[in-house]
Each structure stands twice: as C-alpha cells, then as structure tokens.
C-alpha cells in the first residue's frame, strides 16, 4: 500500500505517506530480484482465489495522486509490473481535500486525461469512493452513492470496467462490505496490516503499508518474514 511516490515537502505532517521515487525504484528492483511479479488487484485475483500459484506482490496506490503517474509509472513499466491506483472520483483533477488541513499540504490528483494515460499504460484504476468519507458514518442512500457512484463516475471517464474498491481510511464493517458487493465490485482492500492469503475474504483484504518513515531494512522484512502478520 502506497500513497505518494514523491519526495516529501518540508514541514509536511505524516511523512510516512511519501515514498521517494528513488526508494520506490529500489523496492521494485528488489521485488524482481527476489522473483516476485508485481500485479494489479485484478491480475492477482486468481492467486487470491487459490486458482493459481506463484510469487506475486499486489501493488496498490491510494487516492490517485499525480505523482503516481509521473514517478511510479516509469518504474513499474521498467520492471514489467502492473498496479492498481484507487481514485476518489469526485476529486479528480483537484486535491486531497479530505486531509489537506491535517497534513499541511494540498497534493494534486490526476485529471481525466492523466487517468486515461495510467489506464493506457496497462495499469488499473480502482474506486476509492466519491468524496473519501468514513463509510460507517453514512446513511444507506449516502453509502450507496459513495460506493456505486464512484464506480459509475470512473467508468464514464475510462470506458472500461472498474472492479476494485478501497475503503476510505480502511473503515468498513459488514454493511459497507455488502454495499461494495451490491455495487458489483470483485474485491476490496482495507488498511488492516497483514499479507493477504488465498481463500481470504476478497472484500476485506489486508495490506502491507510501505511508508517513507520506515528504515530501509523494513521493506525486506515485510516481504521475507512474518513481520506484518504479527502486528
């Protein structure tokens, strides 16, 4: 789980949301050196359903920041990897209005043309709600609008099916997972720490957060040990 692939600006809070392009490139190189294939969520579903076996790492990026296109995409293409970027559909071409004040920075999001460039490069776009609210705090009609509405808006822009969802803030219970199923998504990810295993709930998939605040040795530990499963 990544957010920004960029150098963190001075004074920004939550620097862990930033992974520098140089570090991201080293991490992708390590994945390849260890024999992993970097895959989007849709490409990884056969492995998560237990239909295929192999060394795969699902690469996800939350929110839809422009730096994902500018800095992450060239690295992903260099190694022949694919990835899923989860986009806040009503904020396309704007910024991170949901946490800009708390973080102390307004971060630009991809516009429609940039999202289509991401798609045309073989990457996947998933939905991350319309406005990035905490879904459990919404009424039924608002919940359906945020979940199904995000898919509808993204499909209008991209003209391809959008089948993956990411819960804002990772906040989701049974009601929210059912809303995602009802909207026709194939799977959904949370922010609960852990490595996803075959046979797990496809609508409550854990992830491994890769943060810019981590020491360099943490990423290999996350890959090669039970470091994430114990936390």
- Quote the pLDDT of residue 230: 67
- Quote the pLDDT of residue 226: 85
Q: Establish if 230 belongs to a structural domain.
A: no
Residue numbers of the chain with a pLDDT score lower than 70:
230-231
- Quote the pLDDT of residue 184: 98
CA distance 211 to 60: 13
- Quote the pLDDT of residue 37: 97
Query: Which residue, 85, 59, 207, 73, is CA-closest to 154?
Result: 85
**Residue 35 CB coordination number (10 Å):** 8
Q: Establish if 208 belongs to a structural domain.
A: yes
Task: Name the domain count of the chain.
Answer: 1
Q: Establish if 213 belongs to a structural domain.
A: yes
- Quote the pLDDT of residue 11: 84
- Quote the pLDDT of residue 216: 87
Q: Establish if 229 belongs to a structural domain.
A: no
Q: Establish if 168 belongs to a structural domain.
A: yes
Domain that holds residue 89: 4-224
For residues 34 and 223, the answer to whether their CB atoms sit within 8 Å is: yes
Q: Establish if 154 belongs to a structural domain.
A: yes
82: CATH: 3.20.20.370
Model confidence pLDDT, tens digit, residues 42-52: 999 999 999 99
């Amino acid at each position: 789980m990544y957010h920004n692939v960029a150098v963190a600006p001075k004074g920004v809070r939550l620097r862990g949301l930033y992974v520098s392009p140089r570090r991201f490139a080293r991490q992708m190189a390590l994945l390849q050196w260890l024999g992993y294939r970097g895959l989007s969520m849709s490409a990884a579903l056969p492995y998560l359903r237990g239909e295929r076996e192999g060394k795969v790492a699902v690469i996800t990026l939350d929110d839809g920041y422009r730096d994902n296109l500018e800095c992450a995409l060239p690295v992903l293409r260099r190694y022949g990897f694919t990835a899923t970027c989860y986009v806040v559909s009503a904020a396309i071409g704007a910024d991170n209005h949901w946490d800009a004040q708390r973080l102390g920075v307004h971060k630009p999001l991809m516009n429609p043309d940039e999202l289509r460039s991401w798609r045309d490069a073989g990457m996947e776009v998933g939905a991350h709600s319309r406005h990035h609210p905490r879904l459990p705090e919404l009424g039924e009609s608002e919940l359906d609008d945020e979940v199904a509405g995000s898919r509808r808006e993204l499909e209008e822009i991209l003209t391809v099916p959008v089948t993956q969802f990411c819960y804002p803030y990772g906040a989701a219970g049974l009601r929210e997972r059912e809303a995602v199923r009802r909207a026709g998504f194939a799977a959904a990810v949370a922010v609960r720490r852990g490595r996803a295993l075959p046979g797990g709930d496809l609508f409550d998939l854990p992830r491994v957060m890769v943060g810019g605040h981590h020491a360099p040795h943490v990423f290999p530990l996350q890959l090669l040990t039970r470091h994430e499963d114990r936390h």
